[in-house]
């Protein structure tokens, strides 16, 4: 499923809303999550999962092709943990 299919499904269920409205609703949801993570906040959606930010330490990496050592700065990366309900659903419970 891709973004446009998700929008279409919701538009079909809500004939009183325009396609444009549904697009804005769906986009707002995803933008809000990214904005929160960019601020270092967590997003917890019970039953679905939680998005958080993890810190990675600086390290000495290696260019796999040349074997050269390269400095990798410390950084923040997004992380998602699946919620219990969704995890159970994936396994047919």
Partner 1 sequence: MSDKTLTRMDLSEAVFRQVGLSRNESATLVESVLQHMSDALATGETVKISSFGTFSVRSKSARVGRNPKTGDEVPISPRRVLTFRPSHLMKERVAAGKKKR
Hey, which residues does 56 pair with through a beta bridge?
75
- Following DSSP, what letter does each residue of 58-69 receive, concatenated? -EEEE-TTT--E
Give the nearest distance from C-beta 52 to partner 1 in angstroms.
Answer: 9
d(CA 78, CA 36): 11
Decide: 20 and 26 in contact? Cβ < 8 Å: no
Q: Which one, 1 or 69, has the nearer CB to partner 1?
A: 1
Site residues for partner 1 per CB under 8 A? 1-3, 6, 9-10, 13-14, 21, 24-26, 28-30, 32-34, 36-49, 53, 75-78, 80, 82, 86-87, 89-91
Q: Which one, 63 or 91, has the nearer CB to partner 1?
A: 91
């Amino acid at each position: 499923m891709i973004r446009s299919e998700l929008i279409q499904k919701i538009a079909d269920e809500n004939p009183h809303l325009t396609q444009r409205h549904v697009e804005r609703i769906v986009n707002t949801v995803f933008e809000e999550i990214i904005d929160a993570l960019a601020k270092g906040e967590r997003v917890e959606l019970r039953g679905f999962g939680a998005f958080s930010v993890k810190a990675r330490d600086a390290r000495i990496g290696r260019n796999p092709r040349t074997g050269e050592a390269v400095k990798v700065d410390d950084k923040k990366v997004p992380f998602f943990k699946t919620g219990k309900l969704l995890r159970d659903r994936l396994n047919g419970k």
